Amino acid sequence: MKEKAREFATLAHAGQKRKNSNADYITHPIRVAERLEKEGFSDELVCAGYLHDVVEDTIYEIEDIEKHFGKRVAEIVAAHTENKSKSWKERKQHTIDTIKHADKEIKYLIVADKLDNLQGLEKDLMEQGLKVWDSFNAGIDEQKWYNESIVQNMRYGLANHEIPHYFQEYEQLVRRFFQ
């Protein structure tokens, strides 16, 4: 099932590129899924890692995800998918609210995604300078608010033994990046 999800996501994102980069977009979902798999998480969560941006950024709908990968994968992807008809601030507030009250698998996916995005942004800034902000809907102050809010809410409801190591990695990156 994981290989099928990777192939589906690769086809869905064909031709798309990462912001500020010539890298194929699929490199991001692959890194997210690999991080989740490395933690030993469920096949459903790893599949959701590959598929997490498909509904948001391609022609496919959540029903396509459910048809091909089952209800649980579709639930995880749906919880992570932003409604692009809303403003940037509304979408990000929804993600903050989601991560605070979501079950642990959804938290794991959101943080893995945000960590990879911020790592990519840090690399782009080192290579290209401040012009990278031109391709974003929100500037550094808004990005700081958003990422710090994710950090503040990501552990809510989790026992210490349920918190993966990369949560700390994300928190440290947010502190360093937005200091």
Tally of domains within the chain: 1
pLDDT at 133: 67
More confident residue, 85 or 33: 33
What mean pLDDT is predicted for residues 77-84?
90
Residue 8 lies in domain: 2-177
Question: Under a CB-based contact definition with an 8 Å cutoff, are residues 13 and 32 in contact?
Answer: no
Q: How far is CA 38 from CA 42, 46, 66, 84, 118, in A?
A: 11, 9, 24, 31, 19
pTM assigned to the model = 0.93
| 117, 28 Cβ separation under 8 angstroms | yes
The β-bridge partners of 17 are: 24
For the segment 150-163, what is each residue's pLDDT rounded down to a tens digit?
999 999 999 999 99
Residue 53 annotated as catalytic: no
Q: Which of 56, 64, 66, 148 is catalytic?
A: 56
Name the more confident of 39 and 179: 39
- 24, 34, 37, 57: the active-site residue: 57
Mean pLDDT of 117-121: 90
Residue 97 is part of a domain; what is its CATH number?
Answer: 1.10.3210.10
Higher pLDDT among residues 133 and 172, named by residue: 172
pLDDT at 106: 97
- Is residue 97 among the annotated active site residues? no
